[in-house]
Homo-oligomer: A and B are copies of this chain.
Amino acid sequence: MASTIPESVPAPSADLLQRATAVRQAAMALAQTGDSQRQQALEAMAGALEQDAKAIVAANRADLEAAEHDQLAAALLGRLKLDASKLADAISGLRQVAALADPLGCRQLHTELDEGLILERVSVPLGVVGVIFEARPDAVIQIAALAIRTGNGAILKGGREASRSCQAIVAALHRGLAGTAVAPDTLALLTSRQESLGLLKLDGLVDLIIPRGSKALVEFIQDHTRIPVLGHADGICHQYVDHQVNLDQALRIAIDSKTQYPAACNATETLLVHQEVAAAFLQRAIPAFTAAGVELRGDPAACALGVANAASAADWSTEYLGLVLAVKVVASLEEAMAHIARYGSRHTELICTSNTDTAERFLRTVDSAGVFHNCSSRFADGFRYGFGAELGISTQTMPPRGPVGLEGLITYRYRLRGHGQIAADYGADAGKTRQFRHRPLPL
């Protein structure tokens, strides 16, 4: 979608409005279901996927053949592929989401405003989430599981290249849901580009848009919708190697942070090295990165220490999503933090130092969603954080921030129960008969 982003967004078609309204109504009914009903629905979805496994894998093979015919990039083909083993993993992930604790109905606040006037705040589903994602068809399974576990409807738009796979998956999910307390209408799959654009205009029917794709896609969506967007446009993560440091450890972390999965948003893009250890560190790091297939691009000081390629100004703001790493020599922690403040995307930054005070200053000052000390940036992930599932990663400052699990699909509602109280009776003025107590009650 990113490659052919249109200038403007059309109003949703009557058909899309009707489908979205059906999802919303199904979601309202879903919000009234109990924990075990939602768990049973996920189990039925898992069972239906297992029954349809052959058809799903066959549909995916057809998508793959068409993609090969269209000469899609190898990385895209890799993401598109859904063989029996990957499908089994996705089904297992769905069952793990079913086993997570119920996030709904939790009382977050409980206050006696006055005698017999009791306020509570309770967790409830968001409503309907719209998800626009790239090739990966297993994302449909993951998102459907997350949405239904949290009591939300979902409108899904997958990449065109995955359309056969997505349709086979959603057909199985609908069949699975048919026998449960959760209506199949809770999940809708959009297939045309026109529909996915109309989705952006469904204010009031869709509560959150989650784009999983390129920076251009995310920014296009942010520019064309009033609906809140959960996503990240950039993951420009930094590693700072302090002068007081275990060099072996810092290098091992540097290799992992860059190469363990370079296409991920939590891989590092820039390495900042304190000038006092730059020579010693780069002497070991340059051959290690070269052996790992990483191209280094350095500032003049780094190049003077052996980095082969010179970095341009653009390198400091580039998310390579591949085996390239920018390297800069800095004079101090302060210079490193100033560089991060200027070029970072507030995703994840890490410091390698043996000085705890230095580390704590970095962790206290750098304003990214994740700030790490002596460990790989690749741990910035919902599964690794222990959330059991990951909806996405947000680089906005507002919550939910960073890796987002189930709580990204949850909001709250205030319930106030009275016995005829009116506002005119409260206050310090003459004639006001009541005062607020604001007494906290047990949760």
Contacts and interface: CB of A to CB of B under 8 A. Distances in A.
A223 interface: yes
A420 interface: yes
Nearest to A117: B375
B420 A252 contact: yes
Given A117-B375, A119-B385, A379-B416, A422 B126 contact: no
Contacts of A436: 384, 386
Interface residues of A, number: 71
A388 B294 CA distance: 54
A401 interface: yes
Interface in A29-80: 31-32
Q: How many copies does the complex hold?
A: 2
B413 A126 contact: no
A372 interface: yes
Contacts of A385: 111, 113, 119, 414
Binding site secondary structure of chain A: mixed
Contacts of A32: 364-365
A417 B113 contact: no
A28 interface: yes
Nearest to A375: B418
Contacts of A424: 256, 260, 376
Contact of A249 (B246, B359, B420, B438): B420
Interface in A353-390: 359, 363-365, 367-376, 378-380, 384-386
A253 B413 CA distance: 21
A371 B413 contact: yes
A374 B111 contact: no
A402 interface: yes
A86 to B, nearest CB: 14
A397 interface: yes
Given A384-B113, A397-B127, A370 B252 contact: no
Given A119-B385, A365-B28, A253 B373 contact: no
Nearest to A402: B414
Interface string A395-423: 01111011100000001111111111111
Interface of A: 28, 31-32, 111, 113, 117, 119, 124, 126-127, 207-208, 219, 222-223, 226, 228, 246, 249, 252-253, 255-257, 260-261, 341, 359, 363-365, 367-376, 378-380, 384-386, 396-399, 401-403, 411-424, 426, 436, 438
3 closest cross-chain pairs (CB), A and B? A375-B418, A378-B423, A386-B438
Given A359-B417, A380-B414, 5 more contacts: A28-B365, A369-B414, A370-B413, A374-B420, A376-B423
10 contacts: A111-B385, A208-B397, A260-B423, A372-B416, A373-B418, A375-B417, A375-B419, A375-B421, A384-B423, A386-B438
